[in-house]
């Protein structure tokens, strides 16, 4: 990412705005998988069975996940787009939730570099106390310790008009893979979370349903639904229905064509490349269903422009919060 001079002696509004882009992260080497999994499990190491199963899934997608490389390309693209749009110059920093470079370390680095204000943005469009809030907590704790860095969090951005248009375009273009688009059930999906989040008033499910509804409305889809995927391997009850059960039900009702849109994710990674492209695809094949999936957004310039728009809107809102 480009070098912007330190802002220590520059008036606030002229100093570069920090952008803390936050992403899930993935192991960089196979021997980091156990530490990564332990971090996801809040410090509890996985059993040998769980670890072997995760290693098997990484193996099935080619050894490791492409997630870090894609996230880094998104960060570079965002910095270039923001520094070219005529707005306040920025410096983009990338912090990971479950692997190096960790969010807390990056926030410390930002403070050391003299960044006084930063917009934070998670590469996940929908808010949950079990997802976005955890990233924000890691960032805010480190900023509090640093003492001289104000953070302006973006809580969610699923309702950004350009984002919804982009998803609608992805669905529209994949529908052409089917002879008759009217015969296709479009299934929007996202990472499941423990069902108990609903009782606590978590907005995650409502925001995801609203995303599917908005895209369906834009495309005038007659047949669409929402399903959950990638539920954790824990004793909790997870949000359902799961995509695998949905495929079984659709087959039992004579459906032959399904288009899956994993709208809760933005990049190619294990939960899409394995859970959808390998696991769900194998089941669909067995059930006699043609299953296609929309392309993820990755570092598509149109997606980078969505992120740019989201950051600039938060920057504008922050002006009234100083």
* Site residues (vs ligand FEC, CB under 6 A): 24, 26, 37, 40-41, 54, 65, 67, 124, 130-131, 191, 193, 232-234, 264-265, 269-271
* Cis preceding-peptide flag for 241 (omega within 30 of 0): yes
In whole angstroms, the minimum distance from the beta carbon of 33 to ligand FEC comes to: 8
Query: Given the complex with ligand FEC, which of 154 and 184 has the nearer CB atom?
Result: 154
Write the burial class of residue 218 (CB in 10 Å: 0-12 exposed, 13-18 middle, 19+ buried): middle
Q: How many CB atoms lie within 10 A of CB 214?
A: 18
Query: Given the complex with ligand FEC, which of 40 and 287 has the nearer CB atom?
Result: 40
Query: Given the complex with ligand FEC, which of 153 and 269 has the nearer CB atom?
Result: 269
Query: Given the complex with ligand FEC, which of 49 and 321 has the nearer CB atom?
Result: 49
Asked if residue 184 lies in contact with residue 257, where contact means CB atoms within 8 angstroms, the answer is yes
In whole angstroms, the minimum distance from the beta carbon of 39 to ligand FEC comes to: 10
Query: Given the complex with ligand FEC, which of 250 and 263 has the nearer CB atom?
Result: 263
Residue with tokens 């288009």: 259
In whole angstroms, the minimum distance from the beta carbon of 42 to ligand FEC comes to: 7
Exposed e or buried b for every residue in 245-279, given b needs 16+ CB within 10 A?
ebbbebbeeebebbbbbbbbbbbbbbbbbbbbbeb
Asked if residue 125 lies in contact with residue 211, where contact means CB atoms within 8 angstroms, the answer is yes
In whole angstroms, the minimum distance from the beta carbon of 3 to ligand FEC comes to: 29
In whole angstroms, the minimum distance from the beta carbon of 131 to ligand FEC comes to: 4
Nearest CA to 2 out of 66, 81, 69, 105 is that of: 81
Rounded Cα–Cα distance for residues 122 and 126 (Å)? 9
In whole angstroms, the minimum distance from the beta carbon of 178 to ligand FEC comes to: 28
Query: Given the complex with ligand FEC, which of 47 and 173 has the nearer CB atom?
Result: 47
């Amino acid at each position: 990412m480009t070098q912007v001079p330190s802002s220590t002696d520059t008036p606030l509004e002229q100093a570069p705005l920090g952008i803390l882009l936050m992403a899930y992260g993935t192991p960089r080497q196979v021997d980091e998988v156990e530490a990564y999994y332990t971090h996801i499990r809040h410090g509890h190491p996985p059993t040998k069975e769980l670890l072997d199963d995760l290693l098997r899934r990484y193996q099935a997608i080619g050894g490791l996940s492409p997630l870090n490389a894609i996230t880094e390309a998104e960060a570079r693209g965002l910095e270039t787009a923001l520094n070219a749009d005529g707005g306040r110059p920025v410096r983009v920093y990338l912090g990971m939730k479950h692997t190096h470079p960790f969010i807390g370390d990056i926030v410390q680095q930002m403070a050391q570099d003299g960044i006084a204000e930063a917009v934070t943005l998670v590469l996940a469009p929908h808010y949950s106390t079990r997802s976005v809030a955890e990233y924000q907590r890691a960032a805010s704790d480190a900023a509090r310790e640093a003492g001289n860095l104000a953070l302006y969090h973006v809580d969610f951005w699923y309702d950004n008009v350009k984002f919804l248009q982009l998803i609608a375009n992805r669905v529209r273009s994949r529908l052409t893979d089917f002879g008759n688009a009217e015969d296709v059930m479009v299934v929007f999906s996202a990472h499941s979370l423990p069902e108990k989040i609903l009782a606590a008033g978590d907005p995650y499910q409502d925001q995801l349903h609203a995303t599917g509804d908005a895209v369906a409305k834009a495309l005038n889809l007659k047949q669409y639904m929402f399903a959950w995927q990638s539920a954790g391997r824990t004793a909790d009850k997870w949000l359902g229905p799961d995509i695998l059960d949905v495929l079984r039900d659709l087959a039992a009702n004579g459906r032959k064509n399904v288009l899956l849109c994993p709208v809760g994710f933005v990049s190619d990674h294990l939960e899409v490349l394995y859970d959808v492209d390998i696991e769900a695809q194998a089941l669909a094949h067995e059930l006699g269903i043609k299953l296609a999936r929309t392309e993820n957004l990755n570092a598509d310039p149109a997606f980078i422009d969505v992120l740019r728009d989201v950051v600039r809107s938060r920057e504008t809102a922050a002006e009234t919060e100083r």
